[in-house]
């Protein structure tokens, strides 16, 4: 098996995930792009990386499902080797709504997809990275959101709460595995130009809010990817349990 470093990017078929996968490949990593349903988009990212000489595979898996997470990591073990970096990026957003109109089904769906998935993937990564399990260490980067700080009132309180949980997971896990060769950090993007806003029912949401952003513009997926890569690199070797806010000053 190759000694090439390996990154798994969940939700890697579009937006921040796709930009992150491409950037790690550019820096010589083998890449596994995990996706839930958009096979065409995932394959397009794989083709682009391979066309530039990169080593890349895609793996379809619903990472909120324990059996599918186990299959994902076992397939990566077999095809590429042990994971060096995990980027937890998969997540969903539902239609904008006040809390009083949210059903239990919606709330549980958000929490399962946005929180349980991170816990399961972190668990499997730790089993492979930890020096307590004969691993050689590694890095976990959890993609949170500026919504964890703002609460996203009148729009996505459920999504914001799920990202608040990810911040707590990041801090707690970082302390749990700090002595086992694993660093755990987070990024909190906000107002990034991706397709996710359409999932919430307002594709032009950033245009509406742009005047409130101190920097006066939206952010791009590549800018978040650069922050993720820095946190995964040796340039941040003394950082764990930390967060980078990427929301133009908000």
List, by residue number, the catalytic residues: 159
Query: CB under 8 Å to 52, separation ≥6 — which residues?
Result: 25, 26
Q: What does DSSP assign to residue 8?
A: E
The token pair that represents 173 in the structure block: 């896990």
- The Cα-based distances of 206 to 57, 137, 186, 210, 248 in angstroms read 32, 38, 23, 6, 12
Question: Is the sign of the CA dihedral 63, 184, 81, 16 positive or negative?
Answer: positive
- Residue among 166, 10, 180, 190 nearest 85 (CA): 10
CA angle in degrees (0–180, nearest 5) for 57-58-61 = 145
Let me know the angle formed at the C-alpha of 20 by 72 and 227, rounded to the nearest 5 degrees. Answer: 125
Q: CA 66, 68, 72, 75 torsion: positive or negative? A: positive
């Amino acid at each position: 098996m190759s000694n090439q470093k390996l990154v798994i990017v969940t939700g890697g078929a579009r937006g921040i995930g796709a930009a992150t996968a491409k950037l790690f490949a550019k820096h010589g990593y083998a890449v596994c792009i995990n996706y839930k349903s958009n096979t065409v988009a995932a394959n397009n990212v794989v083709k682009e990386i391979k066309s530039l000489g990169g080593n890349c595979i895609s793996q379809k898996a619903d990472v909120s499902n324990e059996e599918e997470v186990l299959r994902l990591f076992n397939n990566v073990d077999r095809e590429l080797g042990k994971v060096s970096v995990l980027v937890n990026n998969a997540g969903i957003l539902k239609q904008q709504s006040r809390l009083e109109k949210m059903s239990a089904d919606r709330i549980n769906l958000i929490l399962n997809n946005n929180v349980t998935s991170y816990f399961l993937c972190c668990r499997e990564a730790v089993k492979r990275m930890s020096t307590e399990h004969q691993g050689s260490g590694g890095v976990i980067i959890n993609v949170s959101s500026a919504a964890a700080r703002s609460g996203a009132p009148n729009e996505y309180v459920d999504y914001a709460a799920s990202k608040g949980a990810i911040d707590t997971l990041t801090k707690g896990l970082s302390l749990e595995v700090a002595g086992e060769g694993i660093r755990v950090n987070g990024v909190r993007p906000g107002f990034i130009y991706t397709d996710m806003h359409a999932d919430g029912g307002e594709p032009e949401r950033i245009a509406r809010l742009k005047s409130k952003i101190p920097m006066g513009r939206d952010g791009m997926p590549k800018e978040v990817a650069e922050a993720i890569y820095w946190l995964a690199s040796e340039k941040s070797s003394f950082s764990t349990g930390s967060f980078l806010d990427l929301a133009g000053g908000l």
